Structure 1
Amino acid sequence: MVREWGEAIMENASEKECVSLLTGCWAIWEARNKMIFEGRRVCVSEVLCRVRDLVEEMEESGSHKEGGSALEDCRLEERWTRPEQGSCKVNVDAGLCGQGVGLGAVCRDAEGGVLWGVAVQQQEEREPQILEAEAILLGLAEARRHGVTKVVLESDCLNVIRDLKSRSTGRSDIFQIYDDIHDLCSYFESVKFLFVRRKFNSVAHELAHVRPWQLGRRIWYEVLSQNIAEFVSFDLVNIR
């Protein structure tokens, strides 16, 4: 019955609808595995955000390959890459969890070595895009606090990166955060905003979801917790 139902949907759905449906099924399966094998319960809102990000990433990637303009101003990183000598790369991410929300940022040098990583966890939930912008603000604020002068900042939220590069304006709350980000940029010699695939933003993602859950700010220097260090190693294996 389930198979017949699925086949009927696929036959009558558009290509985009099929992609969304299959992506949704995959995200639910991923959440189920996290609960069974990691003991981590993923809330519905996080699953929906995951589906949205995946579908958006596939659509934008397709436009890029076909010569579309969606990513003309947003360099797409296919893997984690070293920043140039004299610069540091800051990867950021945000996430919704059962207890609240988390922001994560990690800074690495031209050799790929971790300089610091920070996690901020709060109870007040906010819209995913606002959280992603707040993660960028966190990453830049920490970079300034640690004396970084040249920053390459990567996020897997395409909309926010695109807005920052185009200096989009508006009256909603997120544009106030954009203003704060641009004001903070004036304290650096240079800041580059890049969009990176989620797969290669895993260190920041894990920092945003770091366990045990703990309200407030935590920071690590050079050595991250064991489970997060594994993702650092993955980046280094695939580095270029």
Structure 2
Amino acid sequence: MRSQNVVDWWGSIFLELDVPNVTNVIAICWAIWGARNSLVVEGVRKDPTDVVRYALKTIEEVYEAGSAGRSAGQTVAGGVSAPVRWQALAMGVAKVNVDAGFVGELGCGLGAVIRSGEGTVLAAGVQQGEESWEVRVAEAQAILWGLRLAASSGLQEVIVESDCLQVIQALRSKEAGSSEFHLVIKDILLICNNFC
């Protein structure tokens, strides 16, 4: 599999390997990119063996989730299930959609949009700080900030939507610990007591 450039290399991957091996290559490249970002952004160097193990474990979970989702009529990823198609929210329930982003030297930004079941924007906002949290901490902080926004808006029932599976899994399992991440998870779980 000799290639002149990365485009040729990817082409040969898709032509010469079967689907499971193409999946492995894509997942390993994705994990390497994530490890690179951890080094560049957070200064955290990850062991190459752990990076590959993480990629292969992720693939295994996705395959297991796919088979579980097909049998249950749901798409399931890493133990988190979602409806196969869009469903309106119950009356009186609001959706808090959050995200975190990094703006180079400026630090981290948190954003939240809260919508009613009909899609009407009830509240929205952004918060910029100089913090340089690791990604999972920033995503957890976004959830905490979004819930605080929902509480200050007088909402009683909310559904939170985040794109960070690691945070969602930690919340669902009520994962405990003493790291900065776990302290934010604890704060989120505490503020959830303010909602129905």
- Provide the TM-score with structure 2 as the length reference: 0.69
1:41 aligned partner: none
- Residue by residue, what CA displacement relative to the aligned partner does 1:121-158 show, whole Å, maximum 9, x if unpaired? 12221100000100000011011001000011111111
1:230 aligned partner: none
2:98 aligned partner: 92
RMSD: 3.5
State which of 150, 163, 170 in structure 2 corresponds to 1:163.
170
Identity %: 34
Whether 2:64 is the aligned partner of 1:63: answer yes
| Count of aligned pairs | 164
> Could you tell me which amino acid in structure 1 is paired with residue 184 of structure 2?
I
SS in 2 for 1:64: helix
Q: Flag the 1:61–1:111 CA change in 2: closer, same or farther, 3 A.
A: farther
Whether 2:152 is the aligned partner of 1:145: answer yes
- Provide the TM-score with structure 1 as the length reference: 0.57
Q: Following TM superposition, by how much is the alpha carbon of 1:56 offset from its aligned partner in structure 2, in angstroms? A: 9.5
Question: Contact 2:94–2:114 at 8 Å: present in 1 too?
Answer: yes
> CA separation in 2, counterparts of 1:72 and 1:111?
29
Question: Contact 1:90–1:154 at 8 Å: present in 2 too?
Answer: yes
Q: Flag the 1:45–1:72 CA change in 2: closer, same or farther, 3 A.
A: closer
- Residue by residue, what CA displacement relative to the aligned partner does 1:195-215 show, whole Å, maximum 9, x if unpaired? xxxxxxxxxxxxxxxxxxxxx
Unaligned ranges ≥5, structure 1: 28-43, 50-54, 190-240
Question: Contact 2:123–2:153 at 8 Å: present in 1 too?
Answer: no
Whether 2:124 is the aligned partner of 1:117: answer yes
Question: Contact 2:27–2:59 at 8 Å: present in 1 too?
Answer: no
- Residue by residue, what CA displacement relative to the aligned partner does 1:160-189 show, whole Å, maximum 9, x if unpaired? 101101111112111111111111111111
Q: Flag the 1:135–1:60 CA change in 2: closer, same or farther, 3 A.
A: farther
Q: Flag the 1:157–1:125 CA change in 2: closer, same or farther, 3 A.
A: same
SS in 2 for 1:85: coil
Q: Flag the 1:73–1:109 CA change in 2: closer, same or farther, 3 A.
A: same
1:129 aligned partner: 136
SS in 2 for 1:66: helix
> Could you tell me which amino acid in structure 1 is paired with residue 178 of structure 2?
R
Unaligned ranges ≥5, structure 2: 42-55, 70-75
- Residue by residue, what CA displacement relative to the aligned partner does 1:60-119 show, whole Å, maximum 9, x if unpaired? 554322128x74752225666532101111111111222321111110001111111110
> Could you tell me which amino acid in structure 2 is paired with residue 143 of structure 1?
A
1:211 aligned partner: none
> CA separation in 2, counterparts of 1:168 and 1:17?
29
Whether 2:25 is the aligned partner of 1:18: answer yes
> CA separation in 1, counterparts of 2:86 and 2:141?
22
State which of 76, 79, 103 in structure 1 corresponds to 2:82.
76
Larger relative contact order, structure 1 or 2 (CA cutoff 8 Å, min sep 6): 1
